[in-house]
Amino acid sequence: MFDALTERLSKAFDSLTGRGILSEKDVDAALREIRVALLEADVALPVVKDFVTKVRERAIGEDVIKAVAPGQQVVKIVHDALVDLLGGPGEPEGLSLEGEPPVAILMAGLQGSGKTTTAAKLARRIQKTEKKKVLLASLDTRRPAAMEQLQQMAAQAEAGFLPIVPGQTAVEIARRAMNAGRLQGYDVVILDTAGRTSIDEELMAEAKAISDVARPRETLLVADALTGQDAVETARRFNERLPLTGLVLTRMDGDGRGGAALSMRHVTGLPVKFVGVSEKVDGLDVFDASRMAGRILG
């Protein structure tokens, strides 16, 4: 995902490392390179500006310029700023599933973002790592194929699946799923909302109504990391309407430029909780800001 960015950044650092003394001019020249590298990776402009300003403030300090290996210090400052941008150091946040069972997780996102696949991947992860029983329910009343897809993936994930009852509205299905979860002893109910090709008012109102019925502990927005700036704009719009608690970025195994992954947290203020790394039902990793920053810097 970050190959081109990694290469560009390493070139920018070449001019810094290995030098005994650094001037403000040297740092600024490197920062110009870093700025271009981030913009080429499709990172949102305000994010790039903030990032460069922050790194400059830290790097121009007397201590850095007079340090024994000042170039290395600047690289370390860029690394730390990247970790901050991606979500900060420390343990990944994970999911919050406390509360009276069944706890609901609501999945939202554009059609094709990987929402249904991610719902099944999450079910599998929660069952395996947290040893909780998960029920999957599709609320996509407009696309029977989406319901069937989730049913097939639920079987792969070895999770429960709420039977499809034709003619019910999404809100009715959400209510039935929560009841079934309660009666059948499920710990978690994952509700997969209708995919949409664009953000339209009717579907937004529907998602909000579902949210009011199921009162989810987690509302996760699934976004395709390959769509770059579009994914960031989508996240911003969803975040205005739904009480989102986190993001999942899919297709991190693809060869996109990585800008969305770098901008998302900053633009929405929401943590990236998971990343999709394959089409398979176990292709979901916990997002770890430090590890990701390390990967970007190579």
Annotated binding residues for GTP: 109-116, 192-196, 250-253
CA 83 vs CA 6, 160, 166, 212, 215: distances in Å: 15, 37, 47, 35, 32
Please state the residue numbers annotated as binding site.
109-116, 192-196, 250-253
Give the residue among 207, 199, 219 at the shortest CA–CA distance from 273.
Answer: 219
> Which residue number has the CB closest to ligand GDP?
276
Using the rule CB under 6 A, which residue among 276, 281, 289, 290 binds ligand GDP? 276
* Residues 27-66, mask of contacts with ligand GDP (x by CB under 6 A): ----------------------------------------
Contacts with ligand GDP by CB under 6 A: the residue count is 19
Smallest separation, CB 107 to ligand GDP (Å):
8
Using the rule CB under 6 A, which residue among 219, 234, 250, 268 binds ligand GDP? 250
Smallest separation, CB 14 to ligand GDP (Å):
33
Collapse the DSSP code of 63 into the 3-class scheme (helix H, G, I; strand E, B; otherwise coil) and give the result: helix
Using the rule CB under 6 A, which residue among 70, 71, 109, 181 binds ligand GDP? 109
Collapse the DSSP code of 105 into the 3-class scheme (helix H, G, I; strand E, B; otherwise coil) and give the result: strand
Which residues, in sequence order, are CB contacts of 49 under 8 Å at separation 6+?
none
Using the rule CB under 6 A, which residue among 18, 46, 99, 112 binds ligand GDP? 112
Q: Does residue 111 interact with ligand GDP by CB under 6 A?
A: yes
Q: Does residue 253 interact with ligand GDP by CB under 6 A?
A: yes
CB nearer to ligand GDP: pick between 119 and 267: 119
Report DSSP letters for 167-233, one per residue. T--HHHHHHHHHHHHHHTT-SEEEEEPPPBSS--HHHHHHHHHHHHHH--SEEEEEEEGGGTHHHHH
Whether residue 102 is preceded by a cis peptide bond, meaning omega within 30 degrees of 0, is: yes
Report DSSP letters for 129-177, one per residue. HS---EEEEE--TT-HHHHHHHHHHHHHHT-EEPPP-TT--HHHHHHHH
132, two tokens: 């909780």
CB nearer to ligand GDP: pick between 116 and 219: 116
Q: Does residue 234 interact with ligand GDP by CB under 6 A?
A: no
User: Contact region for ligand GDP (CB under 6 A) — 4-12, 90-98, 231-239, 246-254?
Assistant: 246-254
Contact 208, 242 (CB under 8 A): yes
Q: Does residue 115 interact with ligand GDP by CB under 6 A?
A: yes
Contact 240, 272 (CB under 8 A): no
Give the largest CA-CA distance in the chain. Answer: 73
Q: Does residue 114 interact with ligand GDP by CB under 6 A?
A: yes
Rounded distance between C-alpha atoms, residue 89 and residue 40, angstroms: 26
Within 193-232, which residues bind ligand GDP (CB under 6 A)? 195
Q: Does residue 156 interact with ligand GDP by CB under 6 A?
A: no
192, two tokens: 């997969």
Using the rule CB under 6 A, which residue among 279, 282, 294, 295 binds ligand GDP? 279
Using the rule CB under 6 A, which residue among 64, 87, 103, 113 binds ligand GDP? 113
φ, ψ for residue 167 (rounded to 5)? Answer: 95, -10
Using the rule CB under 6 A, which residue among 278, 285, 286, 291 binds ligand GDP? 278
Rounded distance between C-alpha atoms, residue 249 and residue 118, angstroms: 9
Q: Does residue 266 interact with ligand GDP by CB under 6 A?
A: no
> Which chain residues interact with ligand GDP by CB under 6 A?
109, 111-117, 149, 195, 250-251, 253-254, 276-279, 283
